[in-house]
Amino acid sequence: MTAPSRRPAAAATVVSAAAATAVAALLLWLAGAAPWDAAKTMVEGAFGSADKIAATLLVWAPLVLASAGLVVTFAAGMWNIGVEGQIAAGAVAAAFIAREAPGPPWAVIPLTIVAGAVGGGLWAMLAGALRTKGNVNEIFGGLGLDFVALGLTTYLVIGPWAREGTASTSGTDIFRDEALLPTTTMFGAEAPLLAALLALAAAAAVYLLLRGTMFGLRLKAVGKNPRSSHLLGIPNDRYVMGAFALGGALAGVAGTVQATGFHHKLVPAVSGGYGFLGILVVLLAGLSARAIAPIALFFVAVSAGSTLLELRLGLDSAFGGVLQSVIVLFVMFGAALALRRRRPPASGSEP
C-alpha cells in the first residue's frame, strides 16, 4: 500500500474510532453512568496498583503471542481459526515437560517453552496439511482440530493426569515450582516479566520477518495472489505449511504461559478464548504485527477494568465486552468503507 493510499484508511480508522467512542459514551450515559467516571474506573481496575498491572500483563502476554502467530498465517492468506486448539496443544506439551522433566528451573523452564512451541506448531501443521493435501478449508479444519485439542486436554485432566484420589475438571496437580514461569519483583508486585518479554519479542520478530526478509515477501505474495506466486516459481504449499508451523508455534508458547505462568496447572479451558480474541486484535491492527501489542493491551485493560464497574458504578461487568464489541464493529465498518472507496470503478459503469 503506497503512502497516498494509506491516508484514506488511516482517516477511516480515526473517524470510526471516534464514532465508536461516542456510541460507547452514549451507552454508558443511557445505563446511568458518567462516561468519564466509567473510563477512570476501568483504568484503575487494570492499572491502579502494581498487583493489577502484573495481572494485566499476565493476560496480555498470551494474547499478544497468539495474535503474532495469527499475523503470520493471515499474511499467507489463511484464516487460522484453529489457534484455540494450538494454544491447548502447546499447553499440553508444556504440561508434560512440567510434570515429567527433572532438573532446576534454568533447564526445565526453557524446555516447557520449546515444548509448547513444538506442540502448537505440530497441531497447526495438521490444519495446514488438511488445507494443502486434502483441500479442506482451513476454517473447517481448524475448528475441528479445536474441538479435538480441547477434548484431549479435558481427557488428560480427568484421566491420566487427574489429581490423586479424584478426577476433577478443576485441573491437574499444581506443577512443581521449578517448572513455573518465573516472575520478577517490580514495585512490590510479582510481575510476569519473562512472559511479557516473550510477547514483545514475538511481535517484533513477526514484524521484521514480514517486512525485511525474503521469506516474508514470498509469504505475502502467496497470500495476496497464490496463482501469480506459483507462476513465479514460489512453492505455495511449502510456504503455507511454514506459516502454519510458525503461527502455531507462537500460539503454543501462549499455551505455555497459560499453563505454567497463569494457572500453574493444566485445566480444560486452558486456551482462555485468546485465539478468537486474537483474531479481533489482528483485524483491528490491520494485519500488522506493529499494532497488535497496544491493541491487545486495550482489550485486556477493558476486560480487567470492567470488573470494577459493578462495584463502583452499579454496571454489569459484562459491559466491558459490549464496549469492545462496539469498537470492533465500527472500526471494521470503517475499514470496509475505506477499502470500497479505494477500489477502481468497474469497467462500463457510469461515472
Between CA 135 and CA 133 the distance in angstroms is: 6
Contact 246, 69 (CB under 8 A): yes
Would you state the pLDDT for residue 12?
Answer: 61
Cell of 39: 473510563
Contact 326, 24 (CB under 8 A): yes
Is residue 297 in some structural domain?
no
Q: What mean pLDDT comes out for the span 315-319? A: 70
Name which of 24-33, 131-140, 166-175, 307-316 the model is least confident about: 307-316
Amino acid symbol at 87: I
Would you state the pLDDT for residue 215?
Answer: 92
Does the pLDDT value for residue 220 go beyond 50?
yes
Q: What mean pLDDT comes out for the span 79-87? A: 94
Does the pLDDT value for residue 155 go beyond 60?
yes
Instruction: Determine the distance from the C-alpha atom of residue 111 to the mean position of all C-alpha atoms in its chain, rounded to a whole number.
Output: 22
Pairing assessment for the beta strands 184-186 and 189-191 based on DSSP bridges = antiparallel
Is residue 56 in some structural domain?
yes
Amino acid symbol at 40: K
Q: Residue 68, CB half-sphere, CA atoms under 13 Å: how many?
A: 28
Is residue 136 in some structural domain?
yes
Question: How far is the CA of 160 from the CAs of 48, 154, 258, in angstroms?
Answer: 42, 10, 20
User: Hey, which bits of the chain come out as E strands?
Assistant: 184-186, 189-191
Would you state the pLDDT for residue 350?
Answer: 40
Residue 346: band (very low, low, confident or very high) from pLDDT cuts 50, 70, 90: very low
Contact 240, 78 (CB under 8 A): yes
Would you state the pLDDT for residue 7?
Answer: 53
pTM for the structure as a whole? 0.88
Please name which of 11, 20, 91 lies closest in space to residue 251, comparing C-alpha atoms.
91
Grid look-up 482489550 returns 299
Name which of 48-57, 71-80, 157-166, 331-340 the model is least confident about: 331-340
Q: How many domains does the chain have?
A: 1
Q: Phi/psi of residue 178, each to 5°?
A: -65, -20
Please name which of 101, 97, 116 lies closest in space to residue 255, comparing C-alpha atoms.
116
Does the pLDDT value for residue 50 go beyond 50?
yes
Question: How far is the CA of 188 from the CAs of 73, 105, 124, 341, in angstroms?
Answer: 39, 23, 39, 52
Instruction: Determine the distance from the C-alpha atom of residue 198 to the mean position of all C-alpha atoms in its chain, rounded to a whole number.
Output: 13
Would you state the pLDDT for residue 96?
Answer: 97
**Nearby residues of 92 by Cβ (< 8 Å), 6 or more positions away:** 119, 149, 152, 153, 156, 255, 266
Is residue 295 in some structural domain?
no
Is residue 134 in some structural domain?
yes
Would you state the pLDDT for residue 5?
Answer: 44
pLDDT > 70 in the chain, percent? 88
Is residue 249 in some structural domain?
yes
Domain enclosing residue 100, as ranges: 49-272
Q: Is 319 helix (H, G, I), strand (E, B) or coil?
A: helix
Is residue 198 in some structural domain?
yes
Is residue 302 in some structural domain?
no
Greater pLDDT, 316 or 146 = 146
Cell of 254: 501462549
